[in-house]
Amino acid sequence: MLWQQVIPVEAPLLVRLTRDRLGVQIFPFLHPEQTEREVNHHVFLLPTMRRRPGSARTLTVFGPHRRAGAQGQLDRRIDELRPLDQSPLGARTRVRNARGGAPVQYDRYARRNAKMKTRPAALSDEIPDLPVPPPTRFWWANQALRWYFAPEYLHLDRVDAKRPTLFVGNHSVFNVFDVMLFTDALYRERGVSLRSLADRAHFKVPLWRDLVVQQGGVLGTRENCAALMRRGENILVFPGGAREVFKRKGEAYHLVWKERFGFVRLAIDHGYTITPYATIGAEESLDILLDASDYLRSPIGRYLKTTGLADRYLRGGEELPPLVRGLGLTPWPRPEKMYFLVGKPIDMANYQGRSDGRTLRRARDRVCRSLKQLIAAAHKHRARDTTVGTVRRLLNRL
């Protein structure tokens, strides 16, 4: 479907029109030789397709047309008018001038990326400050979680409150309570307030995304992480991302990091220390009944794969949440006792000034090995633990 819309401007400008909830974007490029009178009588057409950030797309801008015949059916608002000579140009979207001029390459996402890169200090616009630390804001929820899961923390004394640190942990299947318990303990015991890097999927869910922000979460991009590091914040990251949250059967305590090196690169560039920590117990609180592999083997899953919808919208099935069972027949986690084991800080100063692939892989593998050793040590500690009550053991069998 095509929308037809008049764009009256008084000078060659880059205009962005959006429609709420549909993300329709119009980026007309006006030829420098066009006069003001000609510009004011142009109508532009644009197909309303949505594409993921970074994907290539060809947009053709048509005109001129009769201004009186343009009946725009778009509920629109002009977000921003920026002079053409100040607009960032890229090489992902091809826009052809209405008067037949040479095609111009324009990156439809360059303005957003450039905005983040050119204004790193204006964090109030991108990353809001937290006047009240999340553990204080949610003290009532954390107290209830401590009663329910009876967490035990080992080696919290390894955390240096005076030195900014990047904490790297293992994600548990479909469980966010372990993150809340860890951030609460760091704040109570060491006075450290964490800002967590969250996956994009969190910010697609209404209400939930507000809760993530109140918990100190920010969109997990390199720009946001770099901005936090420039401020000297303590940061929490899970390199496994959504794939590690939506685990599949038999993947308990597996680290699914793929080829992700961004967190070590940023730690090296900003002189951050990486502190790995392991969480066990949360994986046993939920049982996976159906996972992404089961979905994709179904007729609907095969259709999604053959049509390419799974790759386009679900990252090849990685964003398919598993069907889980917790306490009884509910998805509520069972009251498994959780254990948190903090490892020794890993100083990235030894890799300073080196950002080649071999160095990044060596640094990442070092963090990965340390985290796996912590997971194994936490399992041994749990096997020796005799403080788990009888009621808790019975409930965990339900």
pLDDT in tens, the chain (398 residues): 333 334 443 333 333 333 333 333 333 434 444 333 333 333 333 333 333 444 333 333 333 333 333 333 333 333 333 333 333 333 333 333 334 444 434 344 444 444 444 333 334 335 778 888 999 999 999 999 999 999 999 999 999 999 999 999 999 998 889 999 999 999 999 999 999 999 888 888 889 999 999 999 999 999 999 999 999 999 999 999 888 999 999 999 999 998 899 999 999 999 999 999 999 999 999 999 999 999 999 999 999 999 999 888 888 888 899 999 999 999 999 999 999 999 999 999 888 888 788 999 999 999 999 999 999 999 999 999 999 988 898 998 88
Tokens encoding 1:
């479907």
Residues 327, 142: Cα–Cα separation, whole Å: 20
Return the sign of the alpha-carbon dihedral for residues 352, 355, 356, 362. Answer: positive
- What pLDDT score does 266 carry? 95
- CATH code reported for the domain at 123-286+326-395: 3.40.1130.10
- What pLDDT score does 126 carry? 57
- What pLDDT score does 255 carry? 94
Tokens encoding 70:
């343009």
- What pLDDT score does 246 carry? 92
Coil/strand/helix, residue 225: helix
Domain ranges of the chain: 2-118, 123-286+326-395
Tell me which residue has tokens 């040479």.
Answer: 102
Residues 239, 220: Cα–Cα separation, whole Å: 10
Q: Which pTM value belongs to this model?
A: 0.68
Vertex 178, ends 227 and 332: CA angle to 5°? 130
